[in-house]
Structure 1
Protein backbone atom coordinates (compact mmCIF):
# COMPACT_ATOMS: atom_id res chain seq x y z
CA UNK A 1 0.00 0.00 0.00
CA UNK A 2 1.21 3.57 -0.63
CA UNK A 3 2.76 5.47 2.23
CA UNK A 4 0.28 7.47 4.28
CA UNK A 5 0.64 10.40 6.69
CA UNK A 6 -0.33 7.98 9.46
CA UNK A 7 2.58 5.67 8.60
CA UNK A 8 4.98 8.61 8.46
CA UNK A 9 3.76 9.80 11.86
CA UNK A 10 4.18 6.31 13.33
CA UNK A 11 7.73 6.00 12.02
CA UNK A 12 8.56 9.42 13.47
CA UNK A 13 7.18 8.36 16.85
CA UNK A 14 9.19 5.12 16.86
CA UNK A 15 12.34 6.99 15.81
CA UNK A 16 11.89 9.51 18.62
CA UNK A 17 11.40 6.74 21.16
CA UNK A 18 14.52 4.92 19.97
CA UNK A 19 16.66 8.07 20.12
CA UNK A 20 15.43 8.83 23.63
CA UNK A 21 15.85 5.30 24.95
CA UNK A 22 19.42 5.13 23.64
CA UNK A 23 20.19 8.31 25.59
CA UNK A 24 21.11 10.35 22.53
CA UNK A 25 19.43 13.43 24.00
CA UNK A 26 21.44 13.27 27.22
CA UNK A 27 24.30 15.67 27.93
CA UNK A 28 26.60 12.74 28.69
CA UNK A 29 27.09 9.38 27.00
CA UNK A 30 26.32 6.99 29.85
CA UNK A 31 28.87 7.43 32.62
CA UNK A 32 31.54 8.68 30.22
CA UNK A 33 32.75 12.32 30.32
CA UNK A 34 31.52 12.72 26.75
CA UNK A 35 28.46 14.14 25.04
CA UNK A 36 26.90 11.94 22.32
CA UNK A 37 28.54 14.07 19.61
CA UNK A 38 31.91 13.85 21.34
CA UNK A 39 31.50 10.09 21.72
CA UNK A 40 30.76 9.68 18.01
CA UNK A 41 33.77 11.84 17.19
CA UNK A 42 35.99 9.73 19.42
CA UNK A 43 34.79 6.54 17.72
CA UNK A 44 35.57 7.89 14.23
CA UNK A 45 39.02 9.12 15.31
CA UNK A 46 39.66 5.61 16.59
CA UNK A 47 39.66 4.54 12.94
CA UNK A 48 41.85 7.28 11.48
CA UNK A 49 42.91 10.92 11.69
CA UNK A 50 40.44 13.32 10.11
CA UNK A 51 40.07 16.98 9.30
CA UNK A 52 37.12 18.94 10.67
CA UNK A 53 35.48 18.84 7.25
CA UNK A 54 35.89 15.06 7.03
CA UNK A 55 34.50 14.57 10.54
CA UNK A 56 31.50 16.75 9.72
CA UNK A 57 30.76 14.59 6.70
CA UNK A 58 31.22 11.32 8.61
CA UNK A 59 29.00 12.44 11.49
CA UNK A 60 26.48 14.20 9.24
CA UNK A 61 26.77 17.44 11.22
CA UNK A 62 27.80 20.97 10.26
CA UNK A 63 31.46 22.02 10.42
CA UNK A 64 30.93 24.33 13.40
CA UNK A 65 29.46 21.47 15.45
CA UNK A 66 32.34 19.18 14.45
CA UNK A 67 34.87 21.89 15.28
CA UNK A 68 33.27 22.42 18.69
CA UNK A 69 33.35 18.68 19.44
CA UNK A 70 37.04 18.47 18.54
CA UNK A 71 37.86 21.56 20.63
CA UNK A 72 36.09 20.04 23.64
CA UNK A 73 37.97 16.76 23.19
CA UNK A 74 41.27 18.65 22.93
CA UNK A 75 40.46 20.43 26.22
CA UNK A 76 39.81 17.04 27.85
CA UNK A 77 43.16 15.76 26.57
CA UNK A 78 41.56 13.03 24.45
CA UNK A 79 42.43 14.55 21.07
CA UNK A 80 45.23 16.61 19.59
CA UNK A 81 45.43 18.46 16.30
CA UNK A 82 48.35 18.41 13.88
CA UNK A 83 49.00 20.12 10.56
CA UNK A 84 47.44 18.34 7.62
CA UNK A 85 50.38 16.98 5.56
CA UNK A 86 48.30 17.38 2.38
CA UNK A 87 47.08 20.91 3.16
CA UNK A 88 49.04 23.11 5.56
CA UNK A 89 46.03 25.43 5.91
CA UNK A 90 43.98 22.78 7.75
CA UNK A 91 44.41 20.62 10.83
CA UNK A 92 43.97 16.92 11.38
CA UNK A 93 42.47 15.60 14.61
CA UNK A 94 43.83 12.40 16.14
CA UNK A 95 43.53 10.54 19.42
CA UNK A 96 46.03 10.98 22.21
CA UNK A 97 47.13 8.07 24.38
CA UNK A 98 44.56 9.17 26.97
CA UNK A 99 41.97 9.38 24.20
CA UNK A 100 42.67 5.82 23.13
CA UNK A 101 42.15 4.62 26.71
CA UNK A 102 38.91 6.62 26.88
CA UNK A 103 37.74 4.98 23.64
CA UNK A 104 38.36 1.54 25.15
CA UNK A 105 36.15 2.49 28.11
CA UNK A 106 33.49 3.90 25.79
CA UNK A 107 33.47 0.74 23.65
CA UNK A 108 33.15 -1.44 26.75
CA UNK A 109 30.20 0.60 28.01
CA UNK A 110 28.43 0.60 24.66
CA UNK A 111 29.03 -3.11 24.10
CA UNK A 112 27.55 -3.83 27.52
CA UNK A 113 24.52 -1.63 26.80
CA UNK A 114 23.80 -3.35 23.51
CA UNK A 115 24.44 -6.80 24.96
CA UNK A 116 21.69 -6.04 27.46
CA UNK A 117 19.41 -4.98 24.60
CA UNK A 118 20.17 -8.12 22.60
CA UNK A 119 19.40 -10.25 25.64
CA UNK A 120 15.76 -9.14 25.35
CA UNK A 121 15.39 -10.48 21.80
CA UNK A 122 15.06 -13.96 20.29
CA UNK A 123 18.20 -14.80 18.35
CA UNK A 124 16.25 -15.40 15.13
CA UNK A 125 15.06 -11.78 15.18
CA UNK A 126 18.51 -10.22 15.35
CA UNK A 127 19.35 -10.60 11.66
CA UNK A 128 15.92 -9.24 10.77
CA UNK A 129 16.51 -6.20 12.96
CA UNK A 130 19.99 -5.64 11.53
CA UNK A 131 18.59 -5.85 8.01
CA UNK A 132 15.69 -3.52 8.80
CA UNK A 133 17.94 -0.92 10.46
CA UNK A 134 20.31 -1.11 7.48
CA UNK A 135 17.46 -0.50 5.06
CA UNK A 136 16.06 2.30 7.20
CA UNK A 137 19.46 4.01 7.36
CA UNK A 138 19.85 3.72 3.59
CA UNK A 139 16.39 5.22 3.11
CA UNK A 140 17.32 8.16 5.34
CA UNK A 141 20.50 8.78 3.31
CA UNK A 142 18.62 8.56 0.01
CA UNK A 143 15.85 10.87 1.18
CA UNK A 144 18.49 13.51 1.92
CA UNK A 145 20.05 13.02 -1.51
CA UNK A 146 16.58 13.57 -3.02
CA UNK A 147 15.92 16.81 -1.15
CA UNK A 148 14.69 19.56 -3.48
CA UNK A 149 13.52 17.16 -6.17
CA UNK A 150 9.84 16.69 -7.01
CA UNK A 151 8.17 13.47 -8.11
CA UNK A 152 4.86 14.14 -9.85
CA UNK A 153 2.60 12.87 -12.61
CA UNK A 154 3.57 13.73 -16.16
CA UNK A 155 1.87 16.60 -18.02
CA UNK A 156 1.82 17.50 -21.69
CA UNK A 157 4.47 20.16 -20.99
CA UNK A 158 6.88 17.40 -19.94
CA UNK A 159 6.58 15.32 -23.11
CA UNK A 160 9.45 16.85 -25.07
CA UNK A 161 11.88 16.74 -22.13
CA UNK A 162 11.06 13.16 -21.25
CA UNK A 163 11.30 12.00 -24.85
CA UNK A 164 14.72 13.61 -25.13
CA UNK A 165 15.91 11.86 -21.96
CA UNK A 166 14.71 8.49 -23.25
CA UNK A 167 16.53 9.01 -26.54
CA UNK A 168 19.74 10.17 -24.87
CA UNK A 169 19.85 7.37 -22.30
CA UNK A 170 18.97 4.78 -24.96
CA UNK A 171 21.84 6.01 -27.13
CA UNK A 172 24.16 5.91 -24.10
CA UNK A 173 23.46 2.21 -23.65
CA UNK A 174 23.31 1.34 -27.35
CA UNK A 175 19.54 0.81 -27.38
CA UNK A 176 18.86 2.06 -30.89
CA UNK A 177 15.38 2.55 -32.35
CA UNK A 178 15.98 0.09 -35.20
CA UNK A 179 16.36 -2.81 -32.76
CA UNK A 180 12.89 -2.80 -31.21
CA UNK A 181 13.59 -1.08 -27.90
CA UNK A 182 11.26 1.37 -26.13
CA UNK A 183 12.93 4.31 -27.85
CA UNK A 184 11.24 3.17 -31.07
CA UNK A 185 7.68 3.55 -29.71
CA UNK A 186 5.56 5.84 -31.92
CA UNK A 187 4.03 7.38 -28.78
CA UNK A 188 7.39 8.48 -27.38
CA UNK A 189 6.76 12.18 -27.99
CA UNK A 190 3.30 12.08 -26.39
CA UNK A 191 3.80 10.09 -23.20
CA UNK A 192 1.26 12.07 -21.21
CA UNK A 193 -1.48 10.84 -23.58
CA UNK A 194 -0.46 7.20 -23.08
CA UNK A 195 -1.10 7.18 -19.34
CA UNK A 196 -4.54 8.80 -19.17
CA UNK A 197 -6.41 5.67 -18.00
CA UNK A 198 -7.25 5.30 -14.31
CA UNK A 199 -5.16 2.12 -14.08
CA UNK A 200 -2.05 3.70 -15.63
CA UNK A 201 0.33 6.41 -14.47
CA UNK A 202 3.67 7.96 -15.36
CA UNK A 203 5.76 10.02 -12.95
CA UNK A 204 8.54 12.46 -13.77
CA UNK A 205 11.31 13.76 -11.53
CA UNK A 206 11.84 17.50 -11.62
CA UNK A 207 14.62 19.62 -10.16
CA UNK A 208 14.63 23.40 -10.38
CA UNK A 209 12.23 23.31 -13.30
CA UNK A 210 14.16 20.68 -15.25
CA UNK A 211 12.87 17.16 -15.98
CA UNK A 212 15.60 14.61 -15.24
CA UNK A 213 13.87 11.25 -15.49
CA UNK A 214 10.72 9.23 -15.06
CA UNK A 215 8.98 5.90 -15.07
CA UNK A 216 5.48 4.53 -15.35
CA UNK A 217 3.09 1.63 -15.23
CA UNK A 218 0.18 0.52 -17.40
CA UNK A 219 -1.83 -2.62 -18.19
CA UNK A 220 0.17 -5.15 -20.21
CA UNK A 221 -1.29 -5.52 -23.69
CA UNK A 222 -2.70 -8.98 -24.25
CA UNK A 223 -2.39 -10.19 -20.65
CA UNK A 224 -5.39 -9.83 -18.36
CA UNK A 225 -4.65 -8.85 -14.76
CA UNK A 226 -0.99 -8.05 -15.43
CA UNK A 227 0.59 -4.58 -15.59
CA UNK A 228 3.92 -3.54 -17.01
CA UNK A 229 6.65 -1.37 -15.49
CA UNK A 230 7.56 0.94 -18.35
CA UNK A 231 10.10 3.50 -19.54
CA UNK A 232 12.28 3.90 -16.46
CA UNK A 233 14.89 6.36 -17.72
CA UNK A 234 17.14 8.70 -15.73
CA UNK A 235 19.64 11.37 -16.73
CA UNK A 236 23.21 10.77 -15.46
CA UNK A 237 22.95 13.56 -12.87
CA UNK A 238 19.94 11.83 -11.29
CA UNK A 239 21.54 8.43 -10.82
CA UNK A 240 22.81 7.15 -7.50
CA UNK A 241 20.17 9.01 -5.50
CA UNK A 242 17.72 6.11 -5.12
CA UNK A 243 15.07 7.42 -7.49
CA UNK A 244 14.87 4.21 -9.54
CA UNK A 245 13.92 2.22 -6.44
CA UNK A 246 11.55 4.96 -5.28
CA UNK A 247 9.69 5.09 -8.61
CA UNK A 248 9.58 1.31 -8.89
CA UNK A 249 8.10 1.02 -5.39
CA UNK A 250 5.61 3.78 -6.15
CA UNK A 251 4.58 1.98 -9.33
CA UNK A 252 4.21 -1.35 -7.50
CA UNK A 253 2.04 0.27 -4.82
CA UNK A 254 -0.10 1.88 -7.52
CA UNK A 255 -0.48 -1.44 -9.37
CA UNK A 256 -1.46 -3.23 -6.17
CA UNK A 257 -4.11 -0.63 -5.43
CA UNK A 258 -5.47 -1.02 -8.96
CA UNK A 259 -5.97 -4.75 -8.37
CA UNK A 260 -3.37 -6.16 -10.75
CA UNK A 261 -2.21 -9.70 -9.99
CA UNK A 262 1.35 -9.29 -11.25
CA UNK A 263 3.80 -6.73 -12.59
CA UNK A 264 5.84 -7.55 -15.69
CA UNK A 265 8.89 -5.90 -17.20
CA UNK A 266 11.27 -6.32 -20.08
CA UNK A 267 14.87 -5.14 -20.11
CA UNK A 268 18.23 -5.98 -21.60
CA UNK A 269 21.56 -7.22 -20.28
CA UNK A 270 23.11 -3.82 -21.04
CA UNK A 271 21.19 -2.37 -18.10
CA UNK A 272 23.05 -4.19 -15.33
CA UNK A 273 22.08 -1.72 -12.59
CA UNK A 274 18.39 -1.97 -13.49
CA UNK A 275 18.42 -5.76 -13.39
CA UNK A 276 20.05 -5.72 -9.95
CA UNK A 277 17.38 -3.30 -8.73
CA UNK A 278 14.50 -5.41 -10.04
CA UNK A 279 15.95 -8.55 -8.48
CA UNK A 280 16.22 -6.75 -5.13
CA UNK A 281 12.51 -5.91 -5.41
CA UNK A 282 11.66 -9.64 -5.79
CA UNK A 283 11.08 -9.62 -9.55
CA UNK A 284 11.81 -13.12 -10.85
CA UNK A 285 13.27 -14.03 -14.21
CA UNK A 286 10.85 -15.85 -16.49
CA UNK A 287 11.70 -17.85 -19.60
CA UNK A 288 9.38 -16.27 -22.14
CA UNK A 289 7.85 -12.82 -22.73
CA UNK A 290 4.26 -12.05 -21.80
CA UNK A 291 1.69 -9.98 -23.65
CA UNK A 292 2.43 -7.78 -26.63
CA UNK A 293 4.89 -4.99 -25.85
CA UNK A 294 6.43 -4.63 -29.28
CA UNK A 295 9.92 -4.67 -27.75
CA UNK A 296 11.25 -7.87 -29.23
CA UNK A 297 14.89 -6.87 -28.63
CA UNK A 298 14.51 -7.00 -24.84
CA UNK A 299 15.82 -10.47 -24.04
CA UNK A 300 15.34 -10.34 -20.25
CA UNK A 301 11.80 -10.76 -18.93
CA UNK A 302 10.83 -10.56 -15.26
CA UNK A 303 7.63 -10.88 -13.22
CA UNK A 304 6.58 -9.83 -9.73
CA UNK A 305 3.52 -11.38 -8.08
CA UNK A 306 1.52 -8.67 -6.33
CA UNK A 307 -0.15 -9.08 -2.97
CA UNK A 308 -3.78 -8.11 -2.58
CA UNK A 309 -4.35 -4.68 -1.02
CA UNK A 310 -5.60 -4.68 2.57
Structure 2
Protein backbone atom coordinates (compact mmCIF):
# COMPACT_ATOMS: atom_id res chain seq x y z
CA UNK A 1 0.00 0.00 0.00
CA UNK A 2 1.25 3.44 -0.92
CA UNK A 3 -0.78 6.59 -1.26
CA UNK A 4 -0.53 10.32 -0.78
CA UNK A 5 -2.45 12.85 1.25
CA UNK A 6 -1.38 16.47 0.81
CA UNK A 7 2.42 16.45 1.33
CA UNK A 8 2.35 13.08 3.12
CA UNK A 9 3.12 9.59 1.82
CA UNK A 10 1.37 6.73 3.59
CA UNK A 11 2.98 3.36 2.95
CA UNK A 12 3.48 -0.10 4.37
CA UNK A 13 6.01 -0.42 7.18
CA UNK A 14 9.41 -1.86 6.23
CA UNK A 15 12.13 -3.36 8.46
CA UNK A 16 14.20 -0.19 8.06
CA UNK A 17 11.33 1.77 9.69
CA UNK A 18 11.48 -0.12 13.00
CA UNK A 19 13.40 2.44 15.09
CA UNK A 20 11.90 5.56 13.44
CA UNK A 21 8.31 4.35 13.85
CA UNK A 22 8.97 3.34 17.46
CA UNK A 23 10.51 6.76 18.13
CA UNK A 24 7.40 8.55 16.81
CA UNK A 25 5.19 6.51 19.13
CA UNK A 26 7.51 7.00 22.11
CA UNK A 27 7.64 10.77 21.56
CA UNK A 28 3.85 11.15 21.30
CA UNK A 29 3.25 9.01 24.39
CA UNK A 30 5.77 11.02 26.41
CA UNK A 31 4.27 14.29 25.14
CA UNK A 32 1.02 13.27 26.84
CA UNK A 33 2.68 11.88 29.97
CA UNK A 34 2.06 8.24 29.02
CA UNK A 35 4.73 5.55 29.39
CA UNK A 36 6.56 3.97 26.44
CA UNK A 37 6.34 0.22 27.16
CA UNK A 38 8.47 -1.76 24.66
CA UNK A 39 8.16 -4.92 26.77
CA UNK A 40 4.39 -4.62 27.22
CA UNK A 41 1.82 -2.46 25.38
CA UNK A 42 4.31 -1.36 22.71
CA UNK A 43 5.96 -4.71 22.07
CA UNK A 44 3.99 -4.99 18.82
CA UNK A 45 5.93 -1.97 17.46
CA UNK A 46 9.19 -3.82 18.00
CA UNK A 47 7.77 -7.07 16.58
CA UNK A 48 5.71 -5.77 13.63
CA UNK A 49 6.35 -8.83 11.49
CA UNK A 50 4.80 -11.16 14.07
CA UNK A 51 2.16 -8.90 15.60
CA UNK A 52 0.76 -7.47 12.36
CA UNK A 53 1.94 -9.22 9.22
CA UNK A 54 1.87 -12.65 10.84
CA UNK A 55 -1.76 -12.23 11.92
CA UNK A 56 -3.27 -10.69 8.79
CA UNK A 57 -2.98 -7.09 9.93
CA UNK A 58 -1.27 -4.05 8.46
CA UNK A 59 1.14 -1.44 9.81
CA UNK A 60 1.57 1.84 7.95
CA UNK A 61 3.96 4.73 8.33
CA UNK A 62 3.37 8.35 7.35
CA UNK A 63 6.28 10.22 5.81
CA UNK A 64 6.96 13.77 4.76
CA UNK A 65 10.27 14.97 3.36
CA UNK A 66 11.69 11.48 3.89
CA UNK A 67 10.98 11.42 7.65
CA UNK A 68 8.44 9.26 9.46
CA UNK A 69 5.95 11.52 11.24
CA UNK A 70 3.14 9.08 12.02
CA UNK A 71 1.93 5.51 12.25
CA UNK A 72 -1.35 3.61 11.92
CA UNK A 73 -2.06 -0.11 12.19
CA UNK A 74 -4.59 -2.85 12.86
CA UNK A 75 -4.63 -6.57 13.48
CA UNK A 76 -7.30 -9.25 13.95
CA UNK A 77 -8.37 -9.92 17.53
CA UNK A 78 -10.87 -12.74 17.00
CA UNK A 79 -10.58 -14.53 13.67
CA UNK A 80 -13.91 -16.38 13.94
CA UNK A 81 -16.02 -13.27 14.28
CA UNK A 82 -14.05 -11.02 11.91
CA UNK A 83 -12.95 -8.45 14.49
CA UNK A 84 -9.88 -6.19 14.46
CA UNK A 85 -8.24 -3.67 16.71
CA UNK A 86 -6.89 -0.37 15.41
CA UNK A 87 -3.54 0.29 17.07
CA UNK A 88 -0.62 2.67 17.06
CA UNK A 89 -2.34 5.61 15.39
CA UNK A 90 0.05 8.41 16.33
CA UNK A 91 1.07 11.68 14.66
CA UNK A 92 3.86 14.02 15.68
CA UNK A 93 2.66 17.48 16.82
CA UNK A 94 3.94 19.32 13.75
CA UNK A 95 1.65 17.35 11.39
CA UNK A 96 -1.55 17.47 13.43
CA UNK A 97 -4.50 19.68 12.54
CA UNK A 98 -4.33 19.02 8.78
CA UNK A 99 -6.97 16.32 8.53
CA UNK A 100 -4.37 13.55 8.44
CA UNK A 101 -5.81 11.67 11.43
CA UNK A 102 -9.28 11.58 9.88
CA UNK A 103 -7.82 10.52 6.54
CA UNK A 104 -5.82 7.70 8.17
CA UNK A 105 -8.85 6.49 10.11
CA UNK A 106 -10.97 6.40 6.94
CA UNK A 107 -8.24 4.51 5.05
CA UNK A 108 -7.87 2.02 7.91
CA UNK A 109 -11.63 1.44 7.97
CA UNK A 110 -11.72 0.90 4.21
CA UNK A 111 -8.78 -1.55 4.30
CA UNK A 112 -10.40 -3.41 7.22
CA UNK A 113 -13.80 -3.62 5.49
CA UNK A 114 -12.19 -4.74 2.22
CA UNK A 115 -10.65 -7.70 4.07
CA UNK A 116 -14.10 -8.72 5.28
CA UNK A 117 -13.83 -7.70 8.92
CA UNK A 118 -17.06 -6.63 10.61
CA UNK A 119 -16.14 -4.95 13.92
CA UNK A 120 -13.33 -2.55 14.86
CA UNK A 121 -12.14 -2.10 18.42
CA UNK A 122 -9.66 0.41 19.79
CA UNK A 123 -8.33 1.68 23.08
CA UNK A 124 -7.05 5.14 23.94
CA UNK A 125 -6.42 7.42 26.88
CA UNK A 126 -8.51 10.44 27.88
CA UNK A 127 -5.41 12.65 27.75
CA UNK A 128 -5.25 12.00 24.01
CA UNK A 129 -8.10 14.46 23.55
CA UNK A 130 -7.72 14.80 19.79
CA UNK A 131 -7.97 11.04 19.37
CA UNK A 132 -11.06 10.79 21.57
CA UNK A 133 -12.78 13.53 19.54
CA UNK A 134 -11.78 11.88 16.25
CA UNK A 135 -13.17 8.49 17.24
CA UNK A 136 -16.39 9.87 18.69
CA UNK A 137 -17.01 12.07 15.61
CA UNK A 138 -16.56 8.97 13.44
CA UNK A 139 -19.26 6.91 15.15
CA UNK A 140 -17.12 4.83 17.51
CA UNK A 141 -19.21 3.72 20.47
CA UNK A 142 -17.78 3.64 24.02
CA UNK A 143 -17.23 0.33 25.81
CA UNK A 144 -16.34 -0.42 29.40
CA UNK A 145 -13.62 -3.06 28.98
CA UNK A 146 -10.04 -1.80 28.71
CA UNK A 147 -7.13 -4.26 28.42
CA UNK A 148 -4.16 -1.88 28.24
CA UNK A 149 -3.06 -0.38 31.57
CA UNK A 150 -2.25 3.12 30.24
CA UNK A 151 -5.62 3.38 28.47
CA UNK A 152 -8.86 4.37 30.14
CA UNK A 153 -11.20 4.42 27.12
CA UNK A 154 -12.25 1.80 24.63
CA UNK A 155 -14.51 1.96 21.60
CA UNK A 156 -16.02 -0.22 18.91
CA UNK A 157 -17.59 0.33 15.52
CA UNK A 158 -19.59 -2.14 13.46
CA UNK A 159 -18.87 -1.93 9.76
CA UNK A 160 -21.53 -2.21 7.12
CA UNK A 161 -21.48 -2.44 3.35
CA UNK A 162 -21.30 1.36 3.02
CA UNK A 163 -17.85 1.36 4.66
CA UNK A 164 -16.39 -0.98 2.07
CA UNK A 165 -17.33 1.01 -1.03
Q: TM-score range by the shorter chain?
A: 0.7 to 0.9
Contact kept in structure 1, 2:86 and 2:120, CA below 8 Å: yes
Equivalent residue, structure 2, for 1:206: 63
Segments of 4+ moved more than 3 angstroms: 181-184, 221-224
SS at match of 1:298: coil
Tell me which of 113, 118, 126 is aligned to 1:256.
113
Cα shift readout 1:155-181 (whole Å, capped 9, x = no counterpart) = 111111010011111111011146xx9
Q: Name which one, 1 or 2, has greater alpha-carbon Rg.
A: 1
Instruction: State the number of aligned residues.
Output: 160
Structure 1 vs Structure 2 CA RMSD? 2.5
Tell me which of 218, 221, 225 is aligned to 2:82.
225
Counterparts in 2 of 1:252 and 1:271: CA distance versus 1, 3 Å: same
Q: Distance in 1 between matches of 2:42 and 2:8?
A: 28
Equivalent residue, structure 2, for 1:270: 127
Equivalent residue, structure 1, for 2:102: 245
Give the helix-richer structure, 1 or 2. 1
Q: Distance in 1 between matches of 2:33 and 2:86?
A: 21
Give the strand-richer structure, 1 or 2. 2
Cα shift readout 1:226-273 (whole Å, capped 9, x = no counterpart) = 100100111111111111111111111111111111100001110111
Q: Distance in 2 between matches of 1:175 and 1:306?
A: 30
Equivalent residue, structure 1, for 2:148: 295
List gaps (5 residues or longer) in structure 1.
Answer: 1-142
Counterparts in 2 of 1:211 and 1:177: CA distance versus 1, 3 Å: closer
Q: Distance in 2 between matches of 1:266 and 1:198?
A: 19
Cα shift readout 1:80-110 (whole Å, capped 9, x = no counterpart) = xxxxxxxxxxxxxxxxxxxxxxxxxxxxxxx
Contact kept in structure 1, 2:32 and 2:127, CA below 8 Å: yes
Contact kept in structure 2, 1:167 and 1:183, CA below 8 Å: no
Task: Please list, as runs of the form range in 1=range in 2, the aligned pairs for 1:108-257 lying within 5 A after superposition.
Answer: 146-177=5-36, 184-197=41-54, 199-220=56-77, 224-257=81-114
Greater relative contact order (CA < 8 Å, ≥ 6 in sequence): 2
SS at match of 1:187: helix
